[in-house]
């Protein structure tokens, strides 16, 4: 892999941190219009794969059958962070689907965000599987097995029909043959896959150019998934988070993953972007994506400013005094 520098952080003009990464941007013709680093290197999607993992769920009638709201269905693509609105929606979905919480293979967790986590700890509430930040995805998986009449047992295994269907759709969207897709186990216990970064960008391109998807059921599912993500951005992660800022812009479909992976695509421009910060940090995502959008002459200035409010170029100390800056290199 070619290790290109994408960002440096300075404190009092002294270099403090260096971030290397890989970036790929493709257009509607599947042409690479910008790259930095080795875009042929396989990269694990981590949670950026959730919109793709949700495709089998959205090819069923699960929403109508269980009277799910769009807000509740958004949890199937979410890396929820444990806010009250997340917990309440997760409980509703669990009850509507009629699944047992202990059937989720993800680990018991506290909320990810500081305020709800502190509230849970002070109230001496125990960790629970439903608060794992992938719990919504797992509820979708279990709901899928119920609709399809499949066994819940082993839904997390690669040889389960659900996981094989996900692999099929990933291959179609990313244009990587199944036998060339690298597989591993994600933090929540289910399979996660790696494809070259260029192909990761291609897979997200299909969310804004669904006409490129041959399978009609998948095409309709992808459109539905994108609409729901845009309609309920705070469910996908939480308020004041990069996914929420981007998804509030109806022109953008976006989702991040652990260890520095981020994907987004622009509907009007029919452009898709995939990136990986090799240190695994998420901290520079907002500034990095803002600079990429500027480079593309993106017309929605409100979206760019929203990202910069999350992560300004200036570095401030605890008293709000400017003590340094972050430089992005594209």
pLDDT tens per residue across span 158-187: 999 999 999 999 999 999 999 999 999 999
pLDDT at 2: 62
pLDDT at 58: 98
Q: Where residue 70 sits, what CATH number does that domain have?
A: 3.40.710
Looking at the predicted structure, is the pLDDT value of residue 3 above 90? no
pLDDT over 70 for what percent of the chain? 99
pLDDT in tens, 205-245: 999 999 999 999 999 999 999 999 999 999 999 998 999 99
d(C-alpha 87, C-alpha 131), whole Å: 7
Annotate 192-235 with three-state secondary structure: EEEEEHHHHHHHHHHHHCHHHCCCHHHHHHHHHHHHHHHHCHHH
pTM: 0.96
Domain extent at residue 303: 4-328
Looking at the predicted structure, is the pLDDT value of residue 10 above 90? yes
Number of domains in the chain: 1
């Amino acid at each position: 892999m070619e290790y290109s520098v994408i960002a440096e952080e300075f404190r009092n003009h002294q270099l403090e941190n260096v971030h290397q990464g890989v970036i790929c941007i493709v257009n509607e013709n599947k042409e690479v219009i910008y790259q930095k680093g080795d875009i042929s290197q396989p990269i694990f999607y981590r949670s950026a794969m959730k919109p793709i993992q949700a495709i089998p769920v959205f090819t069923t009638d699960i929403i109508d059958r269980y009277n799910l709201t769009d807000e509740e269905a958004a949890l199937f693509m979410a890396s929820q962070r444990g806010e009250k609105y997340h917990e309440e929606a997760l409980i509703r979905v669990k009850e509507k689907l009629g699944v047992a919480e202990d059937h989720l293979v993800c680990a018991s967790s506290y909320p990810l965000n500081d305020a709800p986590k502190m509230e849970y700890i002070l109230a001496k509430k125990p960790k629970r599987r439903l608060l794992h930040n992938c719990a919504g995805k797992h509820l979708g998986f279990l709901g899928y097995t119920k609709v399809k009449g499949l066994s819940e047992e082993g839904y997390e295994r690669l040889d389960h029909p659900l996981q094989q269907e996900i692999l099929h759709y990933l291959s179609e969207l990313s244009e990587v043959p199944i036998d060339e897709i690298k597989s591993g186990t994600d933090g929540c216990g289910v399979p996660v896959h790696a494809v070259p970064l260029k192909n990761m960008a291609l897979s997200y391109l299909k969310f804004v150019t669904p006409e490129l998807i041959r399978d009609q059921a998948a095409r309709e599912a992808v459109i539905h998934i994108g609409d729901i993500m845009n309609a309920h951005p705070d469910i996908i992660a939480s308020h004041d988070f990069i996914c929420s800022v981007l998804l509030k812009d109806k022109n953008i479909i976006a989702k991040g993953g652990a260890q520095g992976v981020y994907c987004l695509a622009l509907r009007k421009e029919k452009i898709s972007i995939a990136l990986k910060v090799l240190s695994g940090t998420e901290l520079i995502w907002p500034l990095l994506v803002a600079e990429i959008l500027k480079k593309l002459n993106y017309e929605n200035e409100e979206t760019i400013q929203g990202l910069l409010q999350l992560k300004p170029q200036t570095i401030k100390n605890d008293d709000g005094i400017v003590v340094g800056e972050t430089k992005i290199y594209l």
